[in-house]
């Protein structure tokens, strides 16, 4: 798998570690802080917070042409890892290097301003997803995406009236409109109907063949099996498995069985 040259390397993660502070006495508001301060000021002042390891010494390389599926139970660190790659969260230790452009989406049923029309929201989404492009290039992407989404005249109706499936169509059409070196899709096919999901998967496959790599995060084994050619299983903030998809799926199923028995 790693026999390709370093020029094919798109993502290089080395010893990535990230932890979050856990507050044992979690307060939702200033009022709670105030009350607990009045009730027991010494406990309040001396209370310590611990840290929860979310990613522990993760090292990962992704090369051109790879469609990497990331799977794991809830809280395994899948989304956090993707957010680190997308520079939304910064690691405590380790490094992330992306050779080329990257684009990520973590929810496909999202609008910017629901009062505006689908087209106006698409314009804003395009500007956020493709910030480096010129106005003219954005217009081309917009025209292509609107056509691909097959939303017809609905595109000029208020976005707040769109169903989740229609929102997913628009977002997925936009994100897959232009190739990039690394595309990150985190649980994004869920809102789309079966017909459109197949259509978008085909479009993404075509994009990959003409550009870089994809990271797909999903809980759905079928999606991973049909879309990916490599699988990483995250468990307890570490990489438990990295290799062929079928083999990884069987490791994942075994892990799930063990977890269910332990409950």
Partner 1 sequence: MKSLGIFWRQVRLLTYANLKSRYRKTFAGFIWVVASPIVIYYIQSLVFKKFLKLDIPDYSLFLLGGLLPWIFITGTLEMCTPIFTTRAELLKSFRLSPYVLILSQIFDNFLNFLLAFLLLLIPMSLLQGKYSLGTAFLPLAMLQLVIGVTGIASLFALMQVFLRDIRYILPFITNVLFFLTPIFYPIEIVPEQYRVFIEANPFYLMISPFRLCIHQFEINSFFMALFKGSLVSFSFLAMSYYAWKRRMNEFYLYL
- Which residue ranges make up the site for partner 1 (CB under 8 A)? 18, 20-21, 27-31, 33, 83, 86-90, 104-107, 110, 112-113, 115-116, 120, 123-125, 127-129, 131-132
Looking at beta carbons only, is 20 or 65 nearer to partner 1? 20
Q: Which is nearer to partner 1, 86 or 231 (CB)?
A: 86
Contacts of 262 (CB under 8 A, 6+ apart): none
Q: 3-state class of 236 per DSSP?
A: coil
Beginning with the edge strand found earlier in the chain, give each strand of the sheet holding 9-22 in spatial order. 50-63, 9-22, 93-98
To partner 1, the closest distance from the beta carbon of 253 in angstroms equals 29
**Residues 251/240, Cβ–Cβ less than 8 Å:** yes
Give min distance, CB of 247 to partner 1, in A.
Answer: 32
> In this complex, which beta carbon is closest to partner 1, that of residue 66 or of residue 186?
186
Quote the CA–CA distance of 88 and 82 in Å, as a whole number. Answer: 9
Q: How far is the CB of 30 from partner 1 (least distance, A)?
A: 5
Rounded Cα distance between 116 and 195, Å, is: 27
If the CB atoms of residues 105 and 208 are measured against partner 1, the closer one turns out to be 105
**Is 91 or 212 the residue whose CB approaches partner 1 more closely?**
91
> Shortest Cβ distance from residue 40 to partner 1 (Å)?
19
Chain-centroid distance of CA 106 in Å reads: 4
**β-strand pairing of 102-105 with 230-235:** unpaired
- Taking the complex as a whole, the smallest distance from the CB of residue 192 to partner 1 amounts, in Å, to 15
């Amino acid at each position: 798998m790693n026999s390709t040259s370093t020029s094919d390397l798109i993502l290089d993660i080395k010893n990535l570690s990230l932890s979050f502070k856990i507050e044992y006495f979690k307060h939702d508001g200033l009022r709670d802080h105030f009350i607990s301060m009045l009730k027991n000021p010494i406990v309040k002042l001396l209370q310590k917070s611990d840290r929860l390891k979310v990613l522990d010494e993760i090292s990962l390389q992704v090369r051109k042409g790879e469609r990497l599926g990331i799977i794991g139970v809830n809280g395994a660190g899948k989304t956090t890892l993707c957010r680190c790659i997308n520079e939304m969260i910064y690691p405590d230790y380790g490094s992330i290097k992306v050779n080329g452009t990257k684009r990520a989406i973590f929810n496909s049923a999202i609008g910017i301003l629901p009062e505006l029309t689908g087209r106006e929201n698409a314009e804003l989404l395009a500007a956020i997803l493709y910030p480096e492009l010129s106005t003219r290039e954005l217009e081309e992407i917009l025209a292509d995406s609107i056509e691909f989404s097959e939303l017809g005249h609905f595109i000029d109706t208020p976005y707040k009236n769109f169903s989740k499936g229609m929102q997913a169509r628009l977002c997925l059409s936009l994100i897959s409109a232009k190739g990039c070196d690394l595309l990150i899709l985190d649980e994004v096919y869920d809102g789309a109907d079966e017909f459109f999901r197949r259509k978008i998967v085909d479009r993404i496959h075509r994009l990959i063949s003409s550009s870089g790599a994809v990271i797909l995060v999903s809980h759905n084994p079928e999606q991973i099996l049909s879309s990916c050619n490599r699988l990483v299983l995250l468990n307890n903030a570490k990489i438990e498995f990295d290799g062929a998809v079928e083999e990884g799926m069987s490791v994942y199923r075994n892990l799930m069985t063990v977890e269910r028995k332990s409950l």
